[in-house]
Structure 1
Amino acid sequence: MNSTTPLAKPLSLALAGAFAALFSTCALAAPDLKIALIAGKTGVLESYAKETETGFMMGLEYLTGGKMEINGRKIKVIVKDDQGKPDLGRTLLAEAYGDDKADIAVGTTSSGSALAMLPVAKEYKKVLVVEPAVADEITGAKWNKYIFRTARNSMQDALAAASTLKSGSIGFLAQDYAFGRDAIKAGKQALAATGSKATVVHEEYAPATATDFTAPSQRLFDALKDKPQPRVLAIVWAGPNPMNKIADMKPERYGIALAPGGNLLPIMKTWKAYAGTEGTIYYYYGFPKNKMNDWLVSEHTKRYKAPPDMFTAGGMAAASAVFTALSKVPSANSEQLVTAMEGMSFETPKGTMTFRKEDHQALQPMYHFRIKKDQKNEWDLLELVREIPAKELPLPVTNKR
């Protein structure tokens, strides 16, 4: 009758032990690494934000070999849309750090929103990797120790452009908001820093949503037409670029050449009629030669039937910075992350970037391009004149540490 009884107790003990071991394993399993990605996915910079998110997710995929984990901890990316609104950006970052318990955050698209987010990172004592906002104040006057930027800043853009303008007369056209005014201020400082003999003779600021450029362009033509050659009208514009409309006004009548800053691929492919025009750019898929960029170009073209754009590369750079930092600090302790990231180098589609210790700005190369005359396909747009190394860009430290 009781022949099976002796087995019952050992069996129940074995099962209890198994459940205890399982519970213990679950209890001890490392929690997810939470990364908040904030971007302006609605609004005028929507395309920039979408590219950033694509590049960020592809970057994590590449760096983790598809496992989406770091040191055995699963990665959870929490994406939030700040709509380019500073108040919303600030609220969403606080929500990410507070309610979502994000270990680290990345964002955002608009410089205005990014600037509003900086004090939140300081309040919560959590790292914020800024991508792709470019305002100099982010790593300048408004900076705090929790802020790191993978994106280039306005001064890096300006220094790259200034390196191609050695003499003559320059007129600027920019958008009338923080990005545009910051860029022109940086442009004038960059000319002085690079020893250029070129003179800025006029500046025009048009509404960010402007579609008619007749009046500001004519004022620029009038200001430039009698000034020393070469005469250059430099365009600094986020979003749909006015270059074609200005070119239709035939600035060459006054001996004026256009110098566009690099832009998104769909915009630049409308510039074919201006073969030979030169400018500078943060990234163009055909320029960097390295393993990471090769993978990004191949995989992005395969998945999206087009090569990666400049903000896709930026998103991947941010992913690499986050991955490298969290690999060095498995606990994701904020103070340890700050220490590890100061002076940290990490690989990107542009090659190696390094966070400068003084202000946490990523030092990186830029590119001098020429619009191709013979374009083999719709995305074969630019030829490389020269890669401009980071060491040739005398970027000042402007924060008060």
Structure 2
Amino acid sequence: MYIELPKEVKYIISRLEENGYEAYAVGGCVRDSILGKTPEDWDITTSAKPEEVKKLFQVTIDTGLQHGTVTVVIAKAGYEVTTFRLDGDYSDGRHPDRVAFTSSLTEDLKRRDFTINAMAYSEKTGLIDKFSGKEDLENGIIRAVGNAEERFSEDALRMLRAIRFAGQLNFKIEEMTLEAIKKLSANISKVSVERIAKELEKLLLSANPEYIHLVYETGIFKVIAPEVAELFEHGLIEELVQAMTRVCYSEKKGIYQIRLSIFLEKLGDIKAVKFLKKLKLDNDTINTVRKLLILLKRETETSDLEMRRTVKEAGHKIMPLFLEARRAKGFFDNSYLYKNIIERGECTEISELRVNGKDLIEAGITKGIMIGKTLDRLLELVIEHPELNTKESLLLEVKHNEE
């Protein structure tokens, strides 16, 4: 089969070949190309040692020499070039104790996680597929290379990667591979929470976030989040998982935050925040999910006034996420009320008041805590009566209150 390689990748491969080395595009870029997708990255594997690679290219970065990886820089873009290698024992269940270079492409491909990621390609040789990865792609199967238990014992993160790939591609996990995950699920405790969080994020951002069921069914949630496993055990999460699949939003981070909030709704905001902190997520995501979980407890607004109160609590940054979360959960669509507020330019936060602290000081309000209290009171006033959000009306209200 033919794969269209970017000119930079062609150049790197041909330069290595011209100097007597083997070189191939390998892994995810080959998989995605066969699937008709545009690869995000192009990785190259070669028989050349790192120091030999460095001699052949003008600009290189020592990305991971201990693992045989050199990044070749062409037109400010980096391409990882890694020497064929054999991995030693994985005593920590995550990283090889040692790495040995080999002259065999087959040996290099043997150490990879799944058959669909263990294919190599060059224009000189065509597709090299020692483990029937193309067939598994065609049949929609995630299968470990060789012995599944060995692959997962080497690197426990591969168990979550299997589920994540299944979700991203809408594939089934081959039976022996799935059984190996169930058997070795306790080993996920050897993996850093940051790595676990990244795989869960990719899964929730996939076209099939409902595959998160497999994180429970394989026993992984019992290890990384027993409180979430309990939700599955008691049947409290089925409808929420389905609601996640209906989320549609313009930004990836927004999709992730909405889906997280829906998924964790039955935990409540306090337990959910504790879980997200354990995963070491960024503060923006934690705070946004917490806010969404609190907002999702609110009754559906039926009037402009009720919607203004909700907008005041949520803020304009959170409101679109909140409305999409509600829509995905099947709530009555009252987003028109929010659109009306925006179109009319009604005030829902202090920064939108037509007076500020300086105006209040000039009106005779004492500096300090009274300024904040007065602004809060004025905001409440214009939430109730939007037409009063003029400088004249607000200063008149301040004057009357002082009297």
The bucket for the TM-score relative to the shorter chain is under 0.3
Higher helix share: 2
- Normalising by structure 1, report the TM-score: 0.21
- Normalising by structure 2, report the TM-score: 0.21
